[in-house]
Chains A and B, each alone.
Chain A
Amino acid sequence: MSGSITTPTNNKAKALGLHLLIIGVLAASFLILPDYHSGIIARVLILAIYAMGYNLLFGYTGLLSLGHALFFASGMYGLGLAMQYLHVSPLIGLIAGLGFAAFVSAVVGFLALRTAGVAFMIVTLMFAQAGYLTILLLGEYTRGDEGFVIKQSQRIVAGFDLTNATNRYYVSVLLFAISLLLIGWIVQSGFGKTLVAIRENEERARMLGYNVQLHKWLAVVISGTMSGSAGAAYALLFGYVGGTFATVQYSIFPLLYVLLGGAGTTIGPLIGALFMFYLIDISSQFTSAYLLVAGVALILLTLFAPQGLAGIVRKRVIRWLP
């Protein structure tokens, strides 16, 4: 064998380097970005966490869910209700949000994974609709579509006021960094590679002795919990909890981000969220038909770059991209 063979360990180190570089660039960007853009980036990073959670299930395991807004909203309301009515600290609120999202995804995963393919899409969509209607039904506490605001006085963690733009930016970078490193570690572990194997050839994975059903369920739980953590972080950083986040639109967003950025890549969700957010932001300055611009961009990408932006980079330039 030639000495130039790249070992998996080598690729792991390169991937870690890339992830740390991205985190470093994001942290440094605050110093040069105008306030307006650092505000956007903070929001995009939280949405990117949402999309990273989604990507674990869709991009890596090959399961297309149309109901992830349920998990996002579970995290959001888990934190929001605990802080609003039980007056817990933000950290306890975060744990409540994560716990509730984990519980909801465990139950939904258990039931929805009895189906496959199109039926799985429909069942997840229905669960999310049921979740949204539940939020409306319990309007007395959830405030339904109108939502409620988490008071500034409650949004202080260890002396850091999260309503302050600088603090908010760095907390979102921190949460994004944790999520990116976690996803990077998961998809390069044996577990993550088994998920890819299931996506590629489920029957073969089973006949290699893998418990396919259990792996899929764990993927739903991890994916749902990470998406829920984004919901909780969104509520905490931007101070608002509302039923809109449980609508079908919010189930479609992470799918779009992931498709645009590159399904089954660790950096795709960030690229997709950034791209989509700025596309809408910039086009809405010129036309009220900004959704049309977004739609055309999507169609072009689907036609000419079905693997998404990071997918192209992996195919053409950086083969080791995780």
Chain B
Amino acid sequence: MILLSTSGLTKQYSGLTAVNDVNFSLPQGQIRAIIGPNGAGKSTFVGMLSGKIPSTNGTVIFKDKDITSLPAHKRIALGMAYTFQITSIFSSLSVHENVALAARRISNSTDSKTVAQRVADALDRVNLTDRYEQIAGDLSYGHQRLLEIAMGLAQSPSLFILDEPTQGLSAEEIESFIKLLKNLAGDTTILLIEHNMDVVMATADLITVLNFGEVLAEGSPAEIRANIDVQAAYLGTVNA
């Protein structure tokens, strides 16, 4: 079953076309990576999926529903979660409260026991349990990234969009992040923007390559690794 698809999705910024006519479809349960050089339009593309950025043209279908004109908060309520490329947390609130804000929004879980349980689970999965009471802004950068991921987990999304989640994480943290993603797979469909190719190769079922706002290639990790066009886009030359 297709969870999310786009047709002709386009974003123009006063003359500059950041994303051009992208047709994309994401089956349920898949881990999909979106890769591409800087400025390829990756963040703009997922921004249009989550409603963070309004699209100029095209449609977005999520769970068989046309969500193109829905505001971001309604798309999130339908079961999306989004983590920001540039860490975006509530820095003066506690770690617990950050995750609780994410948990409370979902499935009308205003009941404090359910919320506490969700928060505990999410923090446990990213190993932040013992930092429960700390002010989020005092956490190290890597821990703030993990907190951001925990906020997404607490929402129990059916589609989890992660925009460069491993940026700034230590090798060890990246290792446990890969494990976490693999555990999530199946229940949760994951859309991952990632620069770290080790993470992409280790986790993705399928890779979509964007270049100049267009889909350059799509295929399994092995296929993408072998693709000459992709090499050219990344390296600027073809040394086949």
Contact = CB atoms under 8 A, between A and B. Distances in A.
Nearest to B129: A1
A8 B115 CA distance: 11
B88 A208 contact: no
A148 B73 CA distance: 49
A5 B100 CA distance: 16
A190 interface: yes
A207 B72 contact: yes
Contacts of B50: 207
Interface stretch (A87-95, A175-183, A191-199): A191-199
Contacts of B72: 206-207
B212 interface: no
B85 to A, nearest CB: 12
Contacts of A288: none
Nearest to B102: A208
B73 A197 contact: no
Specify the main secondary structure of chain A where it touches its partner: helix
Contacts of B73: 206, 209-212
B106 interface: yes
A9 interface: yes
A77 B62 CA distance: 51
Contacts of A197: 90, 93, 101
B225 interface: no
B63 to A, nearest CB: 15
Given A1-B130, A5-B132, A208 B76 contact: yes
A204 B129 contact: no
Contacts of B133: 5-6
A306 to B, nearest CB: 14
B91 interface: yes
B91 A200 contact: yes
B105 interface: yes
A196 B102 contact: no
Given A9-B112, A190-B110, A201-B90, A207 B155 contact: no
Interface string B69-105: 0011100110000101000111111001100111011
A200 B89 CA distance: 9
A203 interface: yes
Interface string B104-141: 11100010100010000000000001101100000000
A27 interface: no
A205 interface: yes
B52 interface: yes
A185 to B, nearest CB: 14
A162 B100 CA distance: 46
Nearest to A12: B112
Contacts of A206: 72-73
Contacts of A7: 116
A135 B197 CA distance: 68
Report which residue of B52, B73, B82 has the largest number of chain A beta carbons within 10 angstroms of its beta carbon. B73
Interface string A3-31: 00111110000000000000000000000
A204 B84 contact: yes
B151 interface: yes
Contacts of B97: 193
Given A210-B73, A211-B73, A204 B88 contact: yes
Given A201-B89, A209-B77, 18 more contacts: A5-B133, A9-B112, A190-B110, A193-B100, A194-B101, A200-B90, A200-B93, A201-B88, A204-B89, A204-B90, A205-B101, A207-B52, A207-B72, A207-B82, A208-B105, A208-B151, A208-B155, A209-B155
11 contacts: A1-B132, A5-B133, A190-B110, A197-B101, A200-B92, A201-B88, A208-B102, A209-B76, A209-B77, A210-B105, A211-B73
